[in-house]
Amino acid sequence: MARNSLTGSRIRERRMFMGRKQADLARAVGISPSYLNLIEHNRRRIGGKLINDIARELGVEPSALTEGAEAALLDTLREAAADHGGATEELPRLEEFVGRFPGWARLLADTRRRSSELEHSVEILSDRMTHDPFLSTSLHEVISTVTAIRSTATILAETRDIDAEWRDRFHRNMAEDSARLAESAEALVRYLDEASSTDVTGSTPQEELDNWLKAQDFHIAELERALPLEPETLINRAGELKSTAAKALARGFLERYLKDAGHMPLKTFGQAAVDSGFDPAALATRYGVDLAAVFRRLASLPAGDVGGEIGLVSCDGSGTLTFRKPVDDFPLPRYSAACALWPLYMALSRPMSPVRRVVEMGGRSRRLFVTYAVCQPSQPAGFDGPPVLEAAMLILPLEITQMVDAAAELEVGTSCRICPRPACAARREPSIMAEAF
Amino acid sequence: MGKRVLLVEDEPNIIEAIRFILSRDGWVVDTHSDGSTAVDTVLSAVPDVLVLDVMLPGKSGFDILRELRGASATADLPILMLTAKGQGRDRELAERYGANRFMTKPFSNSEVLETVNALQAGVTDQA
């Protein structure tokens, strides 16, 4: 989304910061409150005299409203400042800082992002060192063998009057143990070798898949052709998919994609989706598939064909996000848990009951989205096996749906730490944004 | 009267080496390799000193240590713990559960010999 399309959000944010009523500001600049409301939700362009009037009323430079600073940049910096005493004191001057030194601000944000990525890598690696059963078994094996060899060798070297029978026995033990040591040392080296070559970045398999899908814009053209490529061929071609685990995840994803594409051919589906105003129920009926399949298919459509980006998140029964396709102004948490109020979790708590909610995303933009969510159980281990839950939530920008004039039914966020909503019933931990707003 | 040491360890070649060095020093060395029956074995004939490995099949050395400290016959038995895992958590656990001495593998023969003799002589302060 272009920078200046967020002018309305900045006006709203500034107005709320000053504690002014919408109607009051509207009267002061001579427009109707409902028109100001449309402006504040970025649904009407605004310029010229009106922007100057509003800026004056709000006590800021017009450019602060039209250009602003990118929301993501501010969020990152706010997060960086959270645990830092000095910076926290200067938080009220954050916008000023970003405005005056955009280059430095970006450097700081990039450094911050890089350091959290590295922290995450270190966490993964140390987790592996501590909990990897193969590593600890191998090390134990090596140490045990070395202990036996050392002890035996010392006996042989230091006992002058050792009798022949004992000497032969200890020699035999040493030969045995050294062969064992060679074997376990080799296995250990092989293991570490593989680990370092597959996971240089320390990223998780899920992230490898995410990055690859992002690079494809979540649309796999090779699977849309009349004679689609084999998923395996695609996986082998994808340089981003390095670890065996990521390849396995990709295989599952692509096989399902192929099936969805077969049931809902691109040729008719894109148009049908637009015509129905992206109504998953209508599409599911028309194509004879379940809702989750329609969600996945909608999220795989090229943005250009349908007039906007369509997002999708999935989670398993534990609430862990298993698939993330973000859309502008609806950021998805990368490492932390998501917002408990997402309709995704509403659906998770009542399988097979679809949920539709118009939500307003917290943060700077306050854009509206239509979300559809559903949770479906499956029985991969047979009828008597444990039911496995998968929930999915489709995220549609309000503008591209037929509900353009809907009002927000639910206010949600990305994740508590970076969520500005002060009085949230489902808050899990304090926000680092509270003071800033 | 011979001094008796019981070695609870599952690595046959380590058993053999320790048995050799302790025997030459005049110890009667009994050995036991199964964690799950170790407590019974100790209680059936309490030795002068117990050398106890942490990683045993069937039951961990720490659990054995805890049970022995809970029994009146072995509450004060001198115990040397052996572990293949550094100094950190294992050492702390050994101390908490009441081991007299703690030694990490790979140890030296003389170290084992000295420690076992010291334990028998009643020098039970931590190494």
Inter-chain touch A143–B14, beta carbons under 8 Å: no
Could you give the percent of chain B with pLDDT greater than 90? 67
Smallest Cα distance from B83 to chain A, Å: 9
pLDDT at A133 over 70: no
Query: DSSP characters for A67-88?
Result: T---HHHHHHHHHHHHT-HHHH
Q: Give the pLDDT of residue A1.
A: 35
Average pLDDT of chain A is 85
Between A192-196, A290-294, B102-106, the lowest mean confidence (pLDDT) is in A192-196
Give mean pLDDT, residues A230-252.
Answer: 89
> What is the identity of the amino acid at A266?
L
Is residue B124 one of the residues assigned to a domain?
A: no
Its pTM stands at: 0.53
Is residue B127 one of the residues assigned to a domain?
A: no
Whether A247 and A235 have beta carbons less than 8 Å apart is answered as: yes
**Cα(A293)–Cα(A145) distance, integer angstroms:** 55
Q: Give the pLDDT of residue A201.
A: 53
Is residue B94 one of the residues assigned to a domain?
A: yes
Whether A3 and A67 have beta carbons less than 8 Å apart is answered as: yes
Q: Residues B14, B123, B39, B97: what is their CA dihedral angle, to the nearest 10 degrees?
A: -100
Whether A315 and A344 have beta carbons less than 8 Å apart is answered as: yes
Q: Give the pLDDT of residue A259.
A: 94
Is residue B125 one of the residues assigned to a domain?
A: no
Cross-strand pairs, A393:
A313, A373
ipTM score for this prediction: 0.87
Q: Give the pLDDT of residue A131.
A: 62
Is residue B25 one of the residues assigned to a domain?
A: yes
Query: What is the CB neighbour count within 10 angstroms for residue B26?
Result: 9
Domains: count for chain B: 1
Whether A347 and A313 have beta carbons less than 8 Å apart is answered as: no
Is residue B66 one of the residues assigned to a domain?
A: yes
The phi and psi torsions of B44 (rounded to 5 degrees) equal -70, -25
pLDDT at A378 over 50: yes
pLDDT confidence bin for A26, thresholds 50/70/90: very high
Residue in B closest to A170 by C-alpha: B17
Is residue B24 one of the residues assigned to a domain?
A: yes
pLDDT at B15 over 80: yes
Give mean pLDDT, residues A54-81.
Answer: 79
Q: Give the pLDDT of residue A113.
A: 84
For A94-106, write each residue's pLDDT tens digit.
Answer: 877 887 787 898 8
Whether A195 and A138 have beta carbons less than 8 Å apart is answered as: no
- Which residues have CB under 8 Å from A214's CB, separation 6+? none
Whether B82 and A148 have beta carbons less than 8 Å apart is answered as: no
pLDDT confidence bin for A2, thresholds 50/70/90: very low
Inter-chain touch B14–A147, beta carbons under 8 Å: yes
Inter-chain touch A148–B13, beta carbons under 8 Å: yes
Could you give the percent of chain A with pLDDT greater than 70? 91
Give mean pLDDT, residues B93-102.
Answer: 90
Is residue B126 one of the residues assigned to a domain?
A: no
pLDDT at B7 over 90: yes
- Which residues have CB under 8 Å from A210's CB, separation 6+? A324
Chain B CB contacts of A152 below 8 Å: 13, 16-17
The phi and psi torsions of A359 (rounded to 5 degrees) equal -115, 150
Q: Give the pLDDT of residue A74.
A: 81
Q: Give the pLDDT of residue A272.
A: 93
For A37-66, write each residue's pLDDT tens digit.
Answer: 988 887 887 877 888 899 889 888 777 777
Q: List b or e across A370-384, with b for residues whose CB sees 16 or more CB atoms inside 10 angstroms.
A: bbbbbbbeeeeeeee
Query: DSSP characters for A142-206?
Result: HHHHHHHHHHHHHHHHH-TT--HHHHHHHHHHHHHHHHHHHHHHHHHHHHHHHHHHH-TT---HH
Give mean pLDDT, residues B102-120.
Answer: 92
Whether A344 and A350 have beta carbons less than 8 Å apart is answered as: no
For A216-232, write each residue's pLDDT tens digit.
Answer: 899 999 999 888 889 99
A156 touches chain B (CB under 8 A): no
Residue-number span of the structural domain to which B78 is assigned:
3-119
pLDDT confidence bin for A436, thresholds 50/70/90: very low
Identify the residue with better confidence: A88 or A194. Answer: A88
For A259-282, write each residue's pLDDT tens digit.
Answer: 999 999 998 999 999 999 899 999
Token representation of residue B20: 């050799």
Chain B CB contacts of A147 below 8 Å: 11, 14, 84, 105-107
Chain B CB contacts of A158 below 8 Å: 109
Q: Which residues of B touch A (CB under 8 A)?
A: 11, 13-14, 16-18, 20-21, 24, 55, 84-85, 105-110
pLDDT confidence bin for A83, thresholds 50/70/90: confident
Q: Give the pLDDT of residue A132.
A: 66
For A145-185, write each residue's pLDDT tens digit.
Answer: 999 999 999 999 988 888 899 999 999 999 999 998 998 88
**Cα(A77)–Cα(A93) distance, integer angstroms:** 12
Q: Give the pLDDT of residue A364.
A: 60
Which of B11, B21, B106 faces A155 most closely, judged by CB atoms? B21
Cross-strand pairs, A48:
none
CATH number of domain containing B91: 3.40.50.2300
Q: Give the pLDDT of residue A363.
A: 65
pLDDT at A241 over 90: no
Could you give the percent of chain A with pLDDT greater than 90? 39
pLDDT confidence bin for A299, thresholds 50/70/90: very high
For B39-48, write each residue's pLDDT tens digit.
Answer: 999 999 999 9
